[in-house]
Chain A
Amino acid sequence: MNRIKNGASHNVLAMLFDRVQQSARLMCGLPDYDIYVQHLRKVHPGQSVPSYEMFFRGRQEARYGRGMARCC
């Protein structure tokens, strides 16, 4: 993943791109992988970190598995 990281050295445009990408992914139910990995490392250090591929599959199943209560 060539995600642009948030950081002081990056300009506003890069941050904006980052946010738009994050929004677009979230709109189809995909949370931020990097945040998830950070969380795992910090809170469950012993646990193995799933690959992006596995993470993606799991999230897909979580979002659509039981259908979505979609607004009309």
Chain B
Amino acid sequence: MNGAVRTTTWVGVGLLGAAALATIALQRDETVNAAWLVIAAVCCYMLGYRFYSQFIASKVFNLDAARATPATRMTDGLDYVPTNKYVLFGHHFAAIAGAGPLIGPVLAAQMGYLPGTLWIIIGAVFAGCVQDFIVLVFSARRDGESLGQMIKNLMGREAGIVAQIGILAIMVILLAVLGLVVVKALAQSPWGTFTVAMTIPIALLMGFYMRFFRPGHIAEISIIGFLLLMFSLVAGRWVAEDPTWSVWFSLTGPQLAWAMIIYGFFASVLPVWMMQAPRDYLSTFLKIGTIVGLAIGILVTLPDLRMPAITRFIDGTGPVFAGSLFPFLFITIACGAISGFHALIASGTTPKMLETEPEARAIGYGAMAMESFVAIMAMTAASVLEPGVYFAVNSPASLIGTTAESAAQVISQWGFVLTPEMLTQTAKDVGEATVLSRTGGAPTLAIGMAQILSAAVGGPALMAFWYHFAILFEALFILTTLTAGTRVARFMIQDLFGAVVPALGRTTSWAGNIAATTLAVAAWGYFLYQGVVDPFGGINSLWPLFGIANQMLAAIALTFVCVAFVRYGYTRYLLIPATPLVWLLICTITAGIQKIWHSAPSIGFLAHADMLGAALSEGRVLAPASSLEEMERLILNDQIDAALGMVFLTVVVAMVGFGIRSIMKGWSAAPIAQEARA
């Protein structure tokens, strides 16, 4: 391509993107087609990749193919292996893609598709992709060190410990919230519960097959596992239609919560080949397949978005999560715009496999752009639903009641067209007894995906199948994360507290392992159970806490990046990481303060505790409590949530303090000439 053609092409991409953004932002009376969302996002990612990441790659870091990467300098055939760019891209994308980008946008759709979409696109281009890319570069130049090691080396041991405590706290709330998503999706759903329960024997079978019968034949056993999974998906319908069996698999929220707690404990103490590894194979391949399938479905059917661009709930009175657009939108959608977890992945296995340094750009920046596109697809899936149905699925029963009639009446008063027939028809279409108050995002996404996929393949007859396929996919994925995350939390507990209680720290002793696993499961299990019995449906109050934690991790990563910029002599480009950092700090700290101290009981934990306390002192019992003892327990829950919020705030403030200290130290000293240790 010669210069003129190239310029024309990029001007064209810019104009097309601008036109698409204008269409989704300005269209008010007619419905907007999903194509505009897709075009706007893709054009922005292309421009961001071509110009911004190019600037960072060549002007800031001077990425150089001649500089040896850890993979070439330290080849060991196992972790450090020079790996083809596209192969590594696939590996990195599979590691960063999770349930988060599929759920956050669905919840944020209560404010309309526009605010969330803009944050996903702008956040990815200027914050998320930049964070992933830069952390990957720094790690690759430091022999593939992890984020924790880099923080310790550059910012001191205390900073490393505080970051570790922060990561442990976020693991706990992450696992609780993800568990809650599964509970909400499976409660009173025999079809879904049976299918997801069957993943346990299927995983065990795969594990034993791969251990003793055909070791290492991953493709073969994954295909067998997938076929068994599809069979149990079909069998789930028979279970749901059978009067005896359906009773066995209709579980209440608290029953499911206990089942998950028990499962989580055993799955994470069993040898990894038995449960963890086979689950991971299935969920990894299913996830990639589903993402590709959804993308094809959206591109083939190009559905219209029924959700308005902006709803009245930007004022903070929304039923899905409480709190106004600023700051809560920016913590509700974490993954997809920017996710702190990616900093752990970008400083994990990926930097050890880079073949050449410039490839960090396509892998770090590019994979995050793709992840952000997954969030756009989730937003699309939520927005193709009739808005009235969306709110019926996502509002807690304490607001809309438990019958189709009461829900239709309340939601019509909010200004969204909804009849009881629409609700019963939707439930019938997807093969469930009811879709009311199935909060947590997964069922909404599943209905949206079922609409899109059944329009592409199979028509209405297959809608129930697609719905339960989507539920299965998310539950399988989340249960895998739960198993892996419990193990991570267990080892962190052993690392952190092993110094204080030596018995706990012995990772080879059964007693130490069981004690640490019990602590880990008890921690997330507590918040899970609390969320399940919460009158607002749990997601309403706990998702923001999770969002705060996730953005806190991103703030820690970006603080490190800012320090590294100054210490390594990139001070003149400090605005690149400092701008997203400041924005994240503003959002996270404001949201944290509001969740703790806001005067509205629906937002502030302490205000809610006060409200219950006042009623308690008068001897009144408020729903959902049925006794004064339960009231006391709810107050304790609020206080613990507030305390956790304070832990997050303290960690953020402390990390920024450590960051400023390191920067001051580095400002006067000459920059460390080359960040590479070699």
The reply to whether A23 and B77 form a contact with Cβ atoms under 8 Å apart is no
The reply to whether A39 and B87 form a contact with Cβ atoms under 8 Å apart is no
- Which residues of the partner chain B approach A37 to less than 8 Å between Cβ atoms? 77
- Which residues of the partner chain A approach B100 to less than 8 Å between Cβ atoms? 71-72
CB 8 Å contact bits of B86-104 with A (1 = contact, 0 = none): 1110110011111110000
In B124-157, the 8 Å CB interface with A consists of none
- Which residues of the partner chain A approach B341 to less than 8 Å between Cβ atoms? 69-72
The reply to whether A23 and B348 form a contact with Cβ atoms under 8 Å apart is no
The reply to whether B81 and A19 form a contact with Cβ atoms under 8 Å apart is no
- Which residues of the partner chain B approach A12 to less than 8 Å between Cβ atoms? none
CA distance A47 to B288 in the complex (A): 38
The reply to whether A57 and B488 form a contact with Cβ atoms under 8 Å apart is no
In A26-52, the 8 Å CB interface with B consists of 26-32, 35-40, 43, 52
CA distance A22 to B564 in the complex (A): 34
CB 8 Å contact bits of B487-501 with A (1 = contact, 0 = none): 111110000000000
Q: Given A19-B87, A27-B91, verify A67-B273 contact (CB < 8 Å).
A: no
Q: Does A25 contact B (CB under 8 A)?
A: yes
- Which residues of the partner chain B approach A21 to less than 8 Å between Cβ atoms? 219
Q: Given A31-B78, A52-B216, A71-B96, verify A60-B487 contact (CB < 8 Å).
A: no
- Which residues of the partner chain B approach A65 to less than 8 Å between Cβ atoms? 272
The reply to whether A19 and B280 form a contact with Cβ atoms under 8 Å apart is no
B95's nearest neighbour on chain A, judged by CB, is A71
Q: Does B464 contact A (CB under 8 A)?
A: no
Cβ of A30 to closest chain B Cβ, rounded Å: 7
Complex partner residue of A66 from B84, B91, B98, B487, CB under 8 angstroms: B487
- Which residues of the partner chain A approach B335 to less than 8 Å between Cβ atoms? 71-72
Q: Does A68 contact B (CB under 8 A)?
A: yes
The reply to whether A22 and B84 form a contact with Cβ atoms under 8 Å apart is yes
The reply to whether B272 and A60 form a contact with Cβ atoms under 8 Å apart is yes
A38's nearest neighbour on chain B, judged by CB, is B77
A54's nearest neighbour on chain B, judged by CB, is B215
Complex partner residue of B91 from A23, A52, A62, CB under 8 angstroms: A23
Cβ of A36 to closest chain B Cβ, rounded Å: 4
CA distance A31 to B81 in the complex (A): 8
The reply to whether A66 and B491 form a contact with Cβ atoms under 8 Å apart is yes
The reply to whether B487 and A39 form a contact with Cβ atoms under 8 Å apart is no
Q: Chain B: how many interface residues by the 8 Å CB criterion?
A: 56
Cβ of A42 to closest chain B Cβ, rounded Å: 9
Q: Given A19-B86, A65-B272, verify A36-B77 contact (CB < 8 Å).
A: yes
CA distance A58 to B281 in the complex (A): 16
CB 8 Å contact bits of A1-26 with B (1 = contact, 0 = none): 00000000000000000010111111
- Which residues of the partner chain B approach A64 to less than 8 Å between Cβ atoms? 272, 276-277, 280, 484, 487
The reply to whether B488 and A27 form a contact with Cβ atoms under 8 Å apart is no
A32's nearest neighbour on chain B, judged by CB, is B81
Q: Which of B86, B98, B100, B216 lies at the interface centre, i.e. has the most chain A CB atoms within 10 A of its CB?
A: B216
B494's nearest neighbour on chain A, judged by CB, is A66
- Which residues of the partner chain B approach A62 to less than 8 Å between Cβ atoms? 78
The reply to whether B98 and A71 form a contact with Cβ atoms under 8 Å apart is yes
Cβ of B493 to closest chain A Cβ, rounded Å: 11
- Which residues of the partner chain B approach A61 to less than 8 Å between Cβ atoms? 272
The reply to whether B99 and A72 form a contact with Cβ atoms under 8 Å apart is yes
The reply to whether A35 and B81 form a contact with Cβ atoms under 8 Å apart is yes
Q: Given A60-B272, A71-B100, verify A28-B487 contact (CB < 8 Å).
A: no
The reply to whether B99 and A67 form a contact with Cβ atoms under 8 Å apart is no
Q: Given A52-B215, A67-B490, verify A26-B277 contact (CB < 8 Å).
A: no
CA distance A30 to B87 in the complex (A): 13
Q: Does B454 contact A (CB under 8 A)?
A: no
- Which residues of the partner chain A approach B87 to less than 8 Å between Cβ atoms? 19, 22-23, 26
Q: Does B485 contact A (CB under 8 A)?
A: yes
CB 8 Å contact bits of B323-357 with A (1 = contact, 0 = none): 00000000000110001011011001000000000
- Which residues of the partner chain B approach A39 to less than 8 Å between Cβ atoms? 75-77
Q: Does B379 contact A (CB under 8 A)?
A: no
Cβ of B589 to closest chain A Cβ, rounded Å: 21
CA distance A70 to B342 in the complex (A): 9
- Which residues of the partner chain A approach B97 to less than 8 Å between Cβ atoms? 71
Complex partner residue of A70 from B277, B481, B491, CB under 8 angstroms: B481
CA distance A67 to B88 in the complex (A): 21
Q: Which of A24, A29, A59 lies at the interface centre, i.e. has the most chain B CB atoms within 10 A of its CB?
A: A24
B546's nearest neighbour on chain A, judged by CB, is A72
Cβ of A68 to closest chain B Cβ, rounded Å: 4
- Which residues of the partner chain B approach A56 to less than 8 Å between Cβ atoms? 215-216
The reply to whether B83 and A53 form a contact with Cβ atoms under 8 Å apart is no
- Which residues of the partner chain A approach B96 to less than 8 Å between Cβ atoms? 71
CA distance A26 to B93 in the complex (A): 11
The reply to whether A35 and B77 form a contact with Cβ atoms under 8 Å apart is yes
Q: Does B110 contact A (CB under 8 A)?
A: no
Q: Given A72-B334, A72-B341, verify A66-B86 contact (CB < 8 Å).
A: no
Q: Does B174 contact A (CB under 8 A)?
A: yes
Q: Given A30-B218, A31-B78, A67-B490, verify A57-B273 contact (CB < 8 Å).
A: yes
CA distance A40 to B277 in the complex (A): 26
CA distance A29 to B53 in the complex (A): 28
Q: Given A32-B81, A35-B81, verify A70-B98 contact (CB < 8 Å).
A: yes
Q: Does B510 contact A (CB under 8 A)?
A: no
Q: Given A72-B335, A72-B341, verify A27-B90 contact (CB < 8 Å).
A: yes
Which 4 A-B pairs have CB atoms at the shortest separation, nearest pair first? A67-B487, A39-B77, A72-B100, A67-B488
New A-B contacts (12) at CB < 8 Å, excluding given A52-B216, A69-B348, A72-B98: A26-B83, A27-B284, A28-B218, A31-B79, A60-B277, A64-B276, A64-B487, A66-B491, A67-B484, A67-B490, A70-B481, A71-B95
Chosen A-B contacts, 5 in total, with CB atoms closer than 8 Å, are A19-B86, A23-B90, A36-B78, A52-B215, A72-B334
